[in-house]
Amino acid sequence: MTITRNSTTYEKCLKYAIVFLLFFTIVTTSCKPLSKINDKNIQTEIRTADDLKKLEGIYANCFNASVGKIIHIPGNGQSDTERCTILNQLFRKLPETTWRDSNNKRIDSKEQWVKIALRSKKRLTLSLYHNDRFIFSKIVHGKFKNGYFYVRPKVFIYPFVPLVFGYNFERARMSISGNDLILDYSVNRWGFAIAAGSSDVGHVSSIYRRRN
What residues contact 200, with CB distance under 8 A and at least 6 apart?
70, 71, 72, 187, 188, 189
Residue 153 sits in which domain range?
31-208
Structural domain includes residue 48: yes
Structural domain includes residue 70: yes
Domain count, the chain: 1
Structural domain includes residue 182: yes
Structural domain includes residue 14: no
Structural domain includes residue 20: no
Task: Output DSSP code: residue 39.
Answer: -
What pLDDT does 177 receive?
93
What is the separation, in whole angstroms, between the first and last Cα of the chain? 74
Structural domain includes residue 17: no
Structural domain includes residue 19: no
What pLDDT does 1 receive?
46
What residues contact 110, with CB distance under 8 A and at least 6 apart?
60, 62, 81
C-beta separation of 86 from 114 below 8 A: yes
**pLDDT one digit per residue (tens) for the chain, 212 residues:** 455 556 677 666 766 666 666 556 555 555 667 877 776 677 889 999 999 999 999 999 999 998 888 887 876 556 666 778 999 999 878 888 888 888 888 888 899 999 999 999 999 999 999 999 999 999 999 999 999 999 999 887 776 666 667 778 899 999 999 999 999 999 888 777 666 667 788 889 999 999 98
Record the pTM: 0.81
The answer, yes or no, to whether the previous bond of 162 is cis (omega within 30 of 0) is yes
Structural domain includes residue 18: no
